Amino acid sequence: MASISLLQVSVAILGFLTLHYFLFKKPHGRFRRNWPVLRMLPALHMALHRIYDYSVKILEISNMTFPFKGPRFAGMDMLITVDPANIHHIMTSNFSNYIKGPAFQDVFDVFGDGIITTDSELWKNLRKSYQAMIHRQEFQRFSMSTMTRKLKDGIVPLLDHFAEKGTSVDLQDVFGRFTFDTILILITGYDPRSLSIEMPEDELAKALDDVGEGILYRHVKPRFLWKLQNWVGFGEEKKMTRANATFDRVCAKYISAKREEIKRSQVVTDISVAESGDLLTSFIKLNTTKYKLLNPSDDKFLRDTILTLILAGRDTTASALSWFFWLLSENPKVVAKIRQEAINTDISRTGNGQEHLDKLVYLHGALCEAVRLYPPVCFGRKSPIKSDVLPSGHKVDANSKIIICLYALGRMRAVWGEDALQFKPERWITENGGIKHEPSFKFLSFNAGPRTCLGKHIAMAQMKIVAVEILQNYDIKVVQGQKIEPALGIILSMKHGLRITVTKRC
């Protein structure tokens, strides 16, 4: 009994000291303070609900690079940086030394061996094959026609419906369904039709949401803890296991159906890879020798490829569009300028071809500004093969963890100037009225160096098409009183969505 009482007193004293510490110490100081055992982990969890804006403050007072110390032997130590010189060193000039690494692949294990998780020769060969598929003229035409058709047959009727009813709708949900349907068509050729007035729930989309949340929590827990939760089947890890099973089952269905479709078509005529529109058909028929990939038509390879492409093309664009329209609601002058540019360009008459979209310079700047402030992928992770010294002077050991915080990078006054927090499309326009280029180590929203996003131009085209269609034909008003804040996850989505009312313009 005495030992129990002593334990209770000790716990009470520890709780009192912890409470006193968090209530009366300055927040920045407590984040950087090392506890004897837990070190900086308590402060991280206290700030987790507002970690994005908190990271901005910490990195500003830490000269853009901050060494985080987790509990000893928990494998949570990491160097967090937004220093452009460090980013250029890691992503470009010393690229070969910085990889995703086994720890990254462990955290992102549900995505298998896709281009997002792999390194070295496998990554190079995968990238070559992805690049060849995406840059085919047939796929480019298929991509543009799919986006335009889904916009006209999906978003427009949906917004017309809510405009007529006079009821609100979650615009983030609409964009998520639009990009989900679009990317599934581009990958598999099949339309899941999640974008409809009924707003049906899609199990694959739900599984992706659960995985995004689970992966973030894996970054802020000791590895042994989330591994234990995974083994027991508890909390976020239980959701991860279920999501993985959903991925396997749904992808297997698409792969099986596509194999049968190809088999039936070959009875009638021999369809070449160049003539096929969707990516799954192309990957099933991929030349294994040319791209040095083992069993590229293997079901696991195809499953991992489908998930990688969905992850790259679904939530990223939906997130960017959601934050973009919220920023427009706060900046009506920007809306007026975009509409005037569309009128001057006569985009409604000339159509949505790439050459016409490229003329929308101010819209391009507004979209870049939106993803600067709200990058869809809010952090990147790298690990050095060999120990190194970064340009900032920080030494990094082999196999250590480096986190690049894209959200904070876009808000650094040392990088973007004193007006870094302002939404200013003009910062992307040159004196001659052209698009101003910013180096990727400063504007990292589409990655940098050899891992630069392959679908950047497709994503920008998609966002421009959607923006022009909506802004020319509708007035969007954000419902007052809702709380707009980022959700915790690997994609920077809105925690409570974006409820809007819509009115048709004359």
Confidence of residue 38 (pLDDT cuts 50, 70, 90): low
Task: Give the DSSP H/E element, type plus range, for residue 99.
Answer: strand 98-99
The DSSP annotation for 285-311 comes to: T--HHHHT-SSTTSHHHHHHHHHHHHH
What is the C-alpha radius of gyration for the chain, rounded to an integer number of angstroms? 24
Least confident interval from 158-162, 264-268, 370-374: 264-268
Domain ranges in the chain? Answer: 120-504
Given CA atoms 476, 479, 485, 490 in this order, what sign does their dihedral have? negative
> What is the C-alpha to C-alpha distance for residues 71 and 41, in angstroms, rounded to an integer?
7
How many angstroms separate the Cα of 391 from the Cα of each of 86, 89, 388, 401? 6, 7, 10, 17
The predicted model gives 10-39 an average pLDDT of 49
Confidence of residue 109 (pLDDT cuts 50, 70, 90): very high
How many angstroms separate the Cα of 192 from the Cα of each of 262, 300, 315, 364, 465? 20, 22, 16, 30, 21
- Whether residue 272 has pLDDT greater than 80: no
Three-state DSSP at 313 gives helix
How many angstroms separate the Cα of 386 from the Cα of each of 57, 94, 424? 30, 11, 41
Looking at residue 288, its amino acid is T
pLDDT in tens, 397-441: 999 999 999 999 999 999 999 999 999 999 999 999 999 999 999
**pLDDT value, residue 14:** 46
The angle formed by the CA atoms of residues 340, 343 and 345, to the nearest 5 degrees, is 110
Residue-level length of the chain:
506
Q: What percent of the chain has pLDDT over 90?
A: 58
- Whether residue 297 has pLDDT greater than 70: no
**pLDDT value, residue 4:** 43
Q: Where are the alpha helices (DSSP H) in 151-202?
A: 156-165, 171-188
**pLDDT value, residue 79:** 94
The predicted model gives 114-138 an average pLDDT of 88
Three-state DSSP at 483 gives coil
- Whether residue 310 has pLDDT greater than 50: yes
Q: What tokens does 396 get?
A: 């990094």
**pLDDT value, residue 205:** 86
What is the number of other CB atoms lying within 10 angstroms of the CB of residue 490?
21
Looking at residue 485, its amino acid is E
368-381: burial string, b at 16+ Cβ within 10 Å, e else: bbbbbbbbbbbbbb
Task: Give the DSSP H/E element, type plus range, for residue 380.
Answer: strand 379-384
**pLDDT value, residue 267:** 64
The predicted model gives 304-325 an average pLDDT of 92
User: Scanning the structure block, which residue is given the tokens 């391009």?
Assistant: 364
SS3 content of the chain, % helix, strand, coil (to 5): 60, 10, 30
Q: What tokens does 104 get?
A: 């990254």
Q: What tokens does 343 get?
A: 């009128």
Confidence of residue 254 (pLDDT cuts 50, 70, 90): very high
Q: What percent of the chain has pLDDT over 70?
A: 86
Closest CA to 322 of 485, 171, 180, 461: 171
The predicted model gives 354-358 an average pLDDT of 78
How many angstroms separate the Cα of 24 from the Cα of each of 15, 41, 482, 491? 14, 18, 31, 33
315 contacts 493 by C-beta, under 8 angstroms: yes
- Residue 172 phi/psi, 5-degree rounding, is -65, -40
Q: Please state, rounded to an integer, the average pLDDT across all residues of the chain.
A: 86
The predicted model gives 374-381 an average pLDDT of 92
Closest CA to 373 of 333, 317, 416: 416
392 contacts 63 by C-beta, under 8 angstroms: yes
Query: 3-state SS of 221-266?
Result: CCHHHHHHHHHHCCHHHHHHHHHHHHHHHHHHHHHHHHHHHHHHHH
Confidence of residue 40 (pLDDT cuts 50, 70, 90): low
Confidence of residue 17 (pLDDT cuts 50, 70, 90): very low
Q: What is the dihedral of CA 401, 407, 410, 411, to 10 degrees?
A: -110
Class of 120-504 in CATH = mainly alpha
* Residue 453 marked as a ligand binder: yes
> What is the C-alpha to C-alpha distance for residues 424 and 414, in angstroms, rounded to an integer?
17
8-state DSSP, 68: E
Looking at residue 495, its amino acid is K
> What is the C-alpha to C-alpha distance for residues 86 and 81, in angstroms, rounded to an integer?
7
